């Protein structure tokens, strides 16, 4: 009995160490944002935040530039999510429920695109975007980001639709339902959790997208937060406290949503990466 109890204690300590390592850098952003200069740049580091300085977050948001960044990121991420889900649902449905010529090729393409780095396609996409006048615009970034989120979203949704018993489609069809009706009335309500997970993945991959945003947008007023936050690196004019406050404001939505949708996201990501 005693050794079992000891085992639990040892495990608990190990878990706390792991959690400490996992959380520390995020905690450190918080501490840094709330520590005055004299303690930050002293001989030793302060490990606890000075909670009387919480106003630094309000100040960061009050800065019009930061609000603009976050708003641009939101627009890009929301647009990418809507477009990826809108295109991904029919694609996932076709991949799950139909046999057709070229299906294997489509499946392979969806897997293959996941190994393409954005940095590889940024040059030719730049040329395409210039031709269609999509440079320096938020909708241009939505189009570029969707190209990379769509395959993942489609594979997650295909996996989810695979999990819906075919008998349900059959029953609906007996009642005269056409494929589109079957999709919207029967399947979509049943795959809502997976759709939400796919939406979270699409949203935050666009929220975090950097390469296209830094290359395709020139106006400062159109910059998303990823580019804004990255521009702090190596910069001297902004105080480290403000930088960390902004970075934390940029991080928290992603962390909150992933924690909330974690179970679906993980099963979705593995399904998307695995099955074709």
Q: How far apart are CA 136 and CA 163, in angstroms?
A: 41
Closest distance to other proteins from the beta carbon of 89 (Å): 9
Q: How crowded is the C-beta side of 155, counted as CA atoms within 13 Å? A: 26
**CA end-to-end span of the chain:** 49
Can you give the three-state secondary structure of 166-180, one letter per residue? HHHHHHHHHCCCCHH
Residue 202 or 229: the one with the smaller Cβ distance to other proteins is 229
- Minimum CB distance to other proteins smaller for 53 or for 214: 214
- Quick one: which of 256, 156, 158 has its CA closest to 196? 156
Provide, rounded to whole angstroms, the least separation between the CB of residue 26 and other proteins: 6
Least distance (Å) from other proteins to the CB of residue 206? 11
Closer of 59 and 267 to other proteins (Cβ): 267
Separation between Cα atoms, residue 44 and residue 51, nearest integer Å:
19
Least distance in angstroms from the C-beta of 229 to other proteins: 5
Residues 6 or more apart from 75 whose CB is under 8 A from it? 138
Q: Which is nearer to other proteins, 25 or 64 (CB)?
A: 25
CB 228 within 8 A of CB 66: yes
Q: How far is the CB of 9 from other proteins (least distance, A)?
A: 9
Q: Dihedral sign, CA of 171, 174, 176, 179? A: positive
Name which of 58 and 259 has its Cβ closer to other proteins. Answer: 259
Residue closer to other proteins (CB basis): 64 or 176: 176
Backbone angles phi, psi at 224, to 5 degrees: -80, 170
Rounded to whole angstroms, what are the CA distances from 148 to 42, 168, 171, 177, 205?
45, 32, 36, 33, 9
CB of 106 to other proteins, least distance (A): 7
Shortest reach from residue 73's CB to other proteins, in Å: 10
């Amino acid at each position: 009995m005693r050794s079992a109890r000891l085992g639990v204690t040892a495990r608990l300590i190990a878990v706390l160490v792991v959690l400490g390592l996992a959380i520390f850098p995020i905690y450190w952003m918080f501490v840094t944002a709330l520590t005055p200069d004299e303690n930050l740049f002293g001989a030793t580091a302060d490990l606890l935040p000075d909670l009387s300085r919480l106003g630094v977050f309000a100040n960061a948001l009050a800065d019009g530039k930061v609000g603009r960044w976050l708003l641009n990121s939101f627009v890009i991420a929301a647009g990418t999510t809507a477009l990826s889900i809108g295109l991904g649902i029919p694609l996932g449905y076709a991949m799950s429920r139909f046999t057709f010529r070229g299906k294997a090729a489509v499946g392979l393409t969806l897997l293959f695109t996941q190994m393409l780095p954005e940095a590889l396609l940024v040059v030719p996409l730049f040329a395409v975007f210039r031709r269609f006048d999509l440079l320096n615009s938020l909708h241009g970034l939505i189009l570029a980001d969707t190209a990379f989120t769509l395959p993942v979203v489609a594979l997650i949704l295909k996996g989810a639709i695979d999990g819906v018993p075919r008998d349900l489609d059959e029953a609906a069809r007996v009642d005269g339902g056409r494929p589109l009706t079957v999709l919207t009335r029967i399947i979509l309500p049943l795959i809502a959790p997976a759709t939400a997970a796919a939406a979270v993945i699409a949203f935050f991959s666009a929220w975090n997208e950097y390469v296209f945003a830094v290359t395709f947008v020139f106006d400062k007023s159109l910059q998303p937060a990823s580019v804004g936050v990255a521009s702090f690196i190596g910069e001297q004019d902004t105080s480290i406290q403000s930088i960390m406050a902004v970075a934390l404001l940029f991080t928290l939505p992603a962390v909150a949503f992933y924690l909330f949708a974690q179970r679906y996201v993980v099963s979705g990501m593995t399904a998307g990466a695995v099955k074709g």
